[in-house]
Each structure stands twice: as C-alpha cells, then as structure tokens.
Amino acid sequence: MLELIKSSERGYADHGWLKSFHSFSFADYLDAKRMGFGALRVINEDRIAPGTGFGTHGHRDMEIISYVLSGELAHKDSMGNGTAAGTHAGVIKPGDVQRMSAGTGVRHSEFNNSASEPAHFLQIWIQPKRQGATPSYEQTNFPAAEKRGNLRLIASGDGAQGSVSLHADARLYAGLFDGAEQATLTLAAGRLAYVHLVRGSLQVNGQTLSSGDAVQLQQTDQVLISAGQDAEVLVFDLAA
C-alpha cells in the first residue's frame, strides 16, 4: 500500500529569519493525520537567513539528524562539540550527516555559519527504542559519488557500512538519481518505508514525485527508485 503526500500538504511557518516546511505535526502546526510514521517523528525542511539561527535550547530522548543541502550550519552543544576543546568542530556542510542522541538531556544551538548566504537543511527526529540513553554526537561526510545511482546507508541502529549510529530500529538511506539510474531497497516482512524527495523528480514504485513530495509504504517488500531527474532522495526503513 502506497500513500502519496504532496509537498503542498505540509505545514509551513515563516518566522522571518526561518522558513520551515513540516512533514509532520510540529510546534504550532497540528495535523492529526500526520503525527509521525513508525518511529519517524519529524522532517522539517528549514531555510535559515544569514547570520541567524536557533539559540541554545534543550532536547531529550530523541535521535536528531541534520542533513545539509546548501550553506553551512554552526553547531554547539553541552557535550563540548563546537568549542575549541570539542571533539568536533561543529560546522556541518553539504554531504555531512550529523546525529545527536539527546538521551537524558542535551542543550545545543544551530546557526547559519555564513553572514551572506542562506542555509538550507533537513532536521529529522526519530524516536529511540528506549529512553534515558547517554547523550552523544556523531558527524560523517558521505561523498556524492557514494550516493550516485545508489541508496547509500547513512544512519542505522548498528552503524553498518560507516553510517552514523542510532538508538532506534531505523535505517536511513540517501541517493542521487538521474536518467536511467535506479535502485531497489528490499524490505523485511512487516517493515514500513517512508520516502522523502529532497529535490528534483523521480518515481517510487511507479508513483511520480516532485520536490518536497513523500510516500508512505506499508505491506510491501521493496522500494524501487527510478526515472530520476536531478533527484536527491531519502528513504527510511522503519519498524512497524
């Protein structure tokens, strides 16, 4: 079973410095039909104006992924990332995947790292399998060549294939598709799939998607990506 969700059906918020599309209910946007899908709770497409950003605020018991499309984000948190003595410099660029496990509680800020160019990124929240984990941070770059015509695993519960690790029963893939390029993701029995088209156009199991569209798939054993036109896509493999 496949359900198409058009980009125009998403929630939208314009805060001046921040313009955000919400795939699921978030903050002041509420849609009882879109409270999440499996463990997937948030996909926000955010555009942050130069020199602005999210001030220090807290999270807990959530797996948070940032996927930068253009521009750069400057991240700083209570674990020391983004500081001179921190393990990570805290600047997130296109191709980078940042994973922050909020666990028992973490405070962080995210700002546009440029004074002249906007930053465009996806903020993704996935609910963890259990609460109360120790907060942690991970950041990895996945070159475009690894995603070209392929679904590259970028986040998973076991850190397979160099993906960032999640405290969640979920696997996230990213791919770039154009022309005759195609890929198939096989799903285990009872799994769910959610496909979010970041940009361009493509087909998912024969259904055409445009930029910002998504599909929810249930009771199916595969996801077929084909007929891409300058397409960048994220595919989630989720527990039911």
Q: What is the pLDDT of residues 170-208, one digit of tens each?
A: 999 999 999 999 999 999 999 999 999 999 999 999 999
Number of domains in the chain: 1
Q: How confident is the model at residue 89 (pLDDT cuts 50, 70, 90)?
A: low
- At 59, list the tokens: 């999270």
Q: Say if residue 86's pLDDT is above 60.
A: no
pLDDT attached to residue 50: 96
Q: Which of 199, 163, 203 lies closest to 45 in space, CA to CA?
A: 199
Q: What is the pLDDT of residues 125-137, one digit of tens each?
A: 999 999 999 999 9
pTM of the model: 0.95
Q: Which of 235, 233, 232 lies closest to 217 in space, CA to CA?
A: 235
- At 57, list the tokens: 């605020």
Expressed as residue numbers, the domain containing 11 is 2-238
Q: What is the pLDDT of residues 145-169, one digit of tens each?
A: 999 999 999 999 999 999 999 999 9
CATH number, domain with residue 96: 2.60.120.10
